[in-house]
Structures are given as C-alpha cells and as structure tokens.
Amino acid sequence: MESMHGHLLVSISSIFDDTRKSAARLIHQLDKEGVPVSLLVAPHIDGNWHLAKDPTTKQWLEQQQDGGRLLILNGFDQAVQGRRAEFANLDAHEATLRLKGATRQMSKLGFEFDIFAPPRWRMSPGTLDVLPYFDFSLAVSSTGIHDLCHEEFYQSRNLSYGEGFGAAKWWRRSIIRAAERGANRGNTVRLSVSGRNLSDKKVQHDFMRAIDKAIKAGAKPASYDVFLAQAKRKSPQS
C-alpha cells in the first residue's frame, strides 16, 4: 500500500544515561520549530544499562510522555553498534520470548506501548507475525509502517543517522537529499537519529538540515500518532 502523503516523522533512538542530555537538547530545538519527536526506548541497552536502575532517565521519560511525547518500544536489549540487530532474524518463538521480556519489564516501570520498532528498524517476518498478540497496533520497520489491526502496509523507507547506518559526511548528505526528494514527491519522510551520535555537532546540524529541507519541500511535521489514530479509527470490518 502507498504511504500516507506529506508527513514528516522524526525519531530519536538509543536513549539512556549517556545520551539523554544530547537528546533533550535536540528535542528542545525541534519543539521550538514545531516538529514532533518520537522517542524509541528499551529496557536494556548494550547489556549493562538498565532503565529500571536509572531513575533519572525513567523520570525524564515519564515527563516526556506526560507532556504528550510519543514513546515507541525499541526492543528488549538494544545492542551496541557493530552487533547484529536484535529482531532482524528471529523466528516467531524467539521473538515472542524477547517481546514478553520487554513488555513485562516496561509495564512494571509504568510504560505501555501501542507501537513497536525493532533496533535499527530491522524486523524479521517472525517478529511481525507475533506482534499483534502483544496488543501493538503499529509496527515500524526499515521499509515502512505496518498497521497490525488491519494488515495494511504504508511504504516509507526510514532515513537514519547512526543506528547501524553510520553518520559519515557523505551519508549525511545523501540523507538530506533523500529527505528533500521524498518530500518533493509528496511521500511520507521518516528521519531518525541515534542518541549516540548527537554529541557530534555536525551530525545534529545535518539532521536539522534534513528536517528543514523536507519541510520546505512540503512535508508536514507529525508523529507516528497519525498512523496510530488511523488504525484505531477504522472499524474491525474495514
């Protein structure tokens, strides 16, 4: 199915104690520009950071959510760069085990999710198959947005800085061009950045450039809530 036209969807991943402040600075800047930002969060990152043991980050995420920020579950144990993406090759059984762990631990911390996005946006067919059993309404992958309620798919490639894609100068420039080109075509433009890369001012600058180019080319800033609302608004028979 074709993408919903004209949206700009922005997100930040890899949010933990070392990246929270950089993410907060970017969010503040985007808030001033009227650009919603979705936050991809996980209970564990790199095997040694645990949200349950980081009350400062937990409180900050609670404040973001209470203020209307959309939080998206981003896996169970988001791996360090260089390792295989967590949900890229899992069968249904293994995906179920990891999703049980992630949703249970986040629920104990007071977080519930309607949307799932695997680390680096790479999602196996087995993962996609079991997501509806965990009451997710949407899943977001590298290639598009999956309406799990009605088995519909909106094609929209994710454009990422970091998140396994690198953040070299040539790559950042290619993302800026792709964002502008997609917006000119009236497509939904998805831009994401890893919090690990936001300490580099050049990365943050070029991420903002990509956003600015997309907006000037006609993309309207929104959040993944746009697709979530559509999924929930439809009748079960549609």
Alpha-carbon span 197 to 52, nearest angstrom: 24
Say if 1 falls within a structural domain.
Answer: no
What tens digit of pLDDT does each residue of 75-112 get? 998 764 445 678 988 999 999 999 999 999 999 999 99
* Domain CATH number, residue 197: 3.20.20.370
Which residues are CB-contacts of 139 (< 8 A; sequence separation ≥ 6)? Answer: 115, 116, 117, 123, 127, 128, 131, 145, 146, 148
Average pLDDT of every residue of the chain: 91
Say if 238 falls within a structural domain.
Answer: no
pLDDT at 84: 66
pLDDT average per 10 residues of sequence, the chain (238 residues): 72 96 96 97 91 98 96 84 75 95 97 95 95 95 93 93 87 96 96 95 96 96 87 55
Within 10 A of 204 (CB to CB), how many other CB atoms are there? 18
pLDDT at 238: 40
pLDDT at 235: 43
Say if 67 falls within a structural domain.
Answer: yes
Say if 190 falls within a structural domain.
Answer: yes
Query: Distance between alpha carbon 51 and the CA centroid of its chain, in Å?
Result: 18
Domain containing 116 equals 7-233
pLDDT at 3: 46
Provide the number of structural domains found in the chain.
1
pLDDT at 67: 95
Query: Distance between alpha carbon 184 and the CA centroid of its chain, in Å?
Result: 23
Q: What is the pTM of this model?
A: 0.92
Which residues are CB-contacts of 168 (< 8 A; sequence separation ≥ 6)? Answer: none
